Structure 1
Amino acid sequence: MKVGFIGTGSMGSLLIESFIQSNALKPQQISASNRTHSKVAELARRYPGLHAAQSNRETAAESDILFICVKPLESKAVTDEIRNVITEEQIVVSITSPVQVRILEHALKAKVSKIIPSITHQVGSGASLCIHGSRITEEDRSLLEELMSHISRPIRVKESYTRITSDFSSCGPAFLAFFMDQWIQAAVQATGIDRTELGALTGEMMIGTGKLLTEGGMTPAELQARVAVPGGITAEALALLDSSLHSVFPKLIRATHNKYEEDMQKVNVSFGSKPINRQQY
């Protein structure tokens, strides 16, 4: 099986490296292309056998599965470039959430899926969100999800829930990192504790918390109840967080969804599709 990657920026290169390091793919199975060829050449240098293609058409032509890892508004130019070399037997996977499956199915003859990855795949963890198109067979689904299972937990979602699920699986690590960074900064200022020491402690706490929510079978509400003794320190702090952050999360969802809708409209227009009625949050 040959797997191609168009776009080797942050997420494209992360997928390539994660697949290789997890032994899901050998370098010899991978072809990649990028606007800046030196970036692909560097990957080929680090992973001997990986083919640094000279063009996106070359990558597309020699791939059984083709990952398109470009920014939303670059998708139209990529599909125009590869359209004539893509066949009905190939599988094209977009990792860009605002690019709808129906748009890609109209632009290309291939079987189409959308898979939204996460930075957590770098350590073989997290969920990958799978949205499969109408031409994808059950065999194709199994092939793609088996590949993703080497670096993540593949989860099938409805395309209408792409944004909200991406908020948690893809944006979530950054949101949690922001919260932790602010908390650590306040602790350092208040007590003088070493930032590195506290950062390591925070990382271990997050790993343990994640395991309680997955392997331990706890819900977030149950975890809070187990830790927060009535009248205790944790309960006091949770009450503060509840009163201070009450309106933050609805605003967070509105912000991500409105940006998503804006990007999706621009993508649709670039492909010549009629704008859709925006859903307000």
Structure 2
Amino acid sequence: MKTGIIGLGKMGGALLRGMLKAGAVVPENVWVYDHHHENVQALQEEYPGVHEAPTEAAAADAVEVLILAVKPNGILPLISSLSERGAELPLLISIAAAISLDDMEACASDGTRIVRAMPNTPCMVLAGVIAYSAGTGVTDEDEEAARRLLSGCGSVYKVQESQMNAVSAISGCGPAYMFTVLDALADAGVAMGLPRKTALELAVGTMLGSARMQEQTGKHPMALRDEVTSPGGTTIAALNALDECGFRNAWIQAVKRAVRRAEEMEEH
């Protein structure tokens, strides 16, 4: 399937590299456009055969599916400019946060098919989480094409668009939360005398293993936590310290704050 992308920033680059790495697309069937030529050049060095489109319109004309990976404030002008040419547009997949399907469809020519998706940066290592909602003109075949592309990078979930801000706050922002936890655990290890490299590797391995354990057992996280927590032991002492610092509430408030910010962005 001929696939294009406009925007090779952190998220767009991560998503496309994940698709290429997974074999969901082959370089010869990929067209990219980015204002910064060096971003395209870096991708072509990794994946020879990728085409650089000279313009945004050229990228749209060359492909069957076009991923829009520009900043949120650029997505509506981009869709408008592509639509004004009068040519039928390919299936559009927008990964812009806080820009609704209604707003995008209002800028598009009649019949334009749009999928709104929210990937995260682990797509680059094929361990992403991607949620999507389909616009009014999207057919079953379109949706299957979008799922096939996105699933090369990780787990794909269809959600109601009204849930997209919550998705963004958990899985979209989530890698930043996890990296912060890893850094804090590494700092704690260093404070207790461990070499930083060792402390970070211990933290990473523990996070990976714990997530895999929950995924494979299907047990409630608290049930798994209790299996580690002996009466009067070190784990319960550590958990009590987290509670004293408001750890659980901090996570909840972080997600709420991210949702609130997304809602503010939608209003503007």
TM over 0.5: yes
2:212 aligned residue: 211
Per-residue deviation, 1:74: 1.1
In structure 1, distance between residues paired with 2:256 and 2:146:
31
Give RMSD over aligned pairs. Answer: 1.7
Q: Which residue of 1 aligns with 2:195?
A: 194
Q: 2:245 aligns to what SS in structure 1?
A: helix
Assess, with a 3 A threshold, how the Cα gap between structure 1 residues 247 and 211 changes in structure 2: closer, same or farther.
Answer: closer
The offset of 1:85, in angstroms, is: 4.5
Change (3 A) 1:93 1:86: farther
Which residue, 126, 134, 137 being the options, matches 2:136?
134
Moved over 4 A (4+): 85-89
Gaps of 5+ in 2: none
Separation in structure 2 between the aligned mates of residue 104 and residue 27 of structure 1, nearest angstrom: 28
Give the Cα–Cα distance (whole angstroms) in 1 for the partners of residues 197 and 188 of structure 2: 14
**Separation in 1, partners of 2:65, 2:194:** 49
Which segment is superposed worse, 250-259 or 152-161?
A: 250-259
- 1:1-281 pair list within 5 angstroms: 1-85=1-85, 90-109=90-109, 110-189=112-191, 191-245=192-246, 246-266=248-268
Tell me, in whole angstroms, the C-alpha distance in 2 between the residues paired with 1:182 and 1:123: 23
Q: Deviations over 1:76-119 (max 9, x none)?
A: 22123211347556210100120101111121232110111111
List per-residue Cα deviations over 1:8-43 (Å, max 9, x = no partner): 111111122111111111101110111122322332
TM-score by length of 1: 0.89
Contact 1:60/1:86, CA 8 A, preserved across alignment: no
Aligned residues: 265
Structure 1 segments unaligned to the other structure (5+ residues): 267-281
**Structure 1 residue 7, shift from structure 2 partner:** 0.4
One-letter amino acid matched to 2:131: L
Paired residue secondary structure (1:134): coil
Question: What is the SS of the residue equivalent to 2:236?
Answer: helix
